[in-house]
Amino acid sequence: MTKDPLLTLVTVTRNPGVLLHQTLQATAAQTLRLSQPENLEVLVVDGASTDGTPQWLAQNPTLVDRWISEPDEGIYPAMNKAVTLARGHWIIFMNAGDWFENPRVLEDLDLVSRPNSVIYGGVRVRHSDPRSSVTWEDIHPPLALAHLARQMICSHQSMVVPRSYLLQFPFDPQFTLAADHFFLALLATHKVPFVMVPYTLSSVLALGESGRSLSRTYQEKRRAVVRAGLLSPLGGWLIYGPKLFFLPFKTLAKRLLPFSVVRRVKRALFLPKGSA
């Protein structure tokens, strides 16, 4: 690449196996990559994988423009490292095993006309039940910025952010599960413009770190929105206190009720009308 690209796609990995192959192969099929390869930089920051990932990257130079493999201190420090290495005006983070909803997603965002905006859309989440072989998908539309105090308004795989904001407000490693929520809350309190597109941008695996410890996640989210100034300390407890209180009952119900019942209840309570 002879000039700075329009967009850098970053994938942060540690022993991703074939999931990384799937993500990079899907990225190669993006029309922006095919028609304007100079405008889409693919960057992989690998945490010293031992599963053959560095060797695979070295053998597939057409799928990745730059990559490094070295020990890091966790996901968010690795993401901050990627920001300093990226050359694009915008950055999007895509986990191993995730891909875009269709081949035209990046080209259709029309980034050039929105130079200082955070652009975000919906996400398709691919689930599997660990108790059976059942798999299913849910589509989560993007939420208005007013919802940010209560929850993430989108998945980070469905959000394109100007690199300048990521340099100004790097992910805070004090938040091991909610640094992305804190980052967005900071942008909102600093009046950064957000542009919501009303369609699905990415398809992701439901494997996130924060999903494994909801109690810690809620605690971190409460601290994040309060520290960023979106809520007062009392407001933080009013929003997240009930979530923490009912969490043990929710966990018990998931263990005792049939999987089909849990899924129907979850979809009825938490998915917006019209979601797939």
Is there a domain that residue 161 lies in?
Answer: yes
127 or 211, greater pLDDT: 127
pLDDT at 271 over 90: no
Pick the closest to residue 105 from 44, 157, 32, 161 (CA basis). Answer: 32
Q: What is the pTM of this model?
A: 0.89
pLDDT digits (tens, 9 = 90+) for 28-78: 999 999 999 999 999 999 999 999 999 999 999 999 999 999 999 999 999
pLDDT of residue 251: 79
Is there a domain that residue 272 lies in?
Answer: no
107, amino acid identity:
E
Is there a domain that residue 274 lies in?
Answer: no
Q: How many domains does the chain have?
A: 1
pLDDT at 210 over 60: no
pLDDT digits (tens, 9 = 90+) for 104-124: 999 999 899 988 999 999 999
Is there a domain that residue 72 lies in?
Answer: yes
Average pLDDT, the chain: 90
Is there a domain that residue 121 lies in?
Answer: yes
Percent of residues, the chain, with pLDDT higher than 70 = 89
- Measure Cα distances from 80 to 38, 61, 65 in Å: 23, 23, 18
Q: How far apart, in whole angstroms, are the C-alpha atoms of residue 118 and residue 115?
A: 9
Which positions ≥6 away from 191 have C-beta within 8 Å? none
254 or 218, greater pLDDT: 218
Q: CATH number, domain at 155?
A: 3.90.550.10
Q: What is the mean pLDDT of residues 266-274?
A: 55
Is there a domain that residue 203 lies in?
Answer: yes
Which positions ≥6 away from 266 have C-beta within 8 Å? none
Is there a domain that residue 113 lies in?
Answer: yes
Burial of residue 133 (CB within 10 Å: 0-12, 13-18, 19+) is exposed
Is there a domain that residue 266 lies in?
Answer: no
Residue 132 confidence class, pLDDT cut points 50, 70, 90: low
Residue 159 confidence class, pLDDT cut points 50, 70, 90: very high
Domain boundaries, position 164: 7-210
Q: How far apart, in whole angstroms, are the C-alpha atoms of residue 64 and residue 149?
A: 36
Phi and psi dihedrals of 104, rounded to 5? Answer: -100, 5
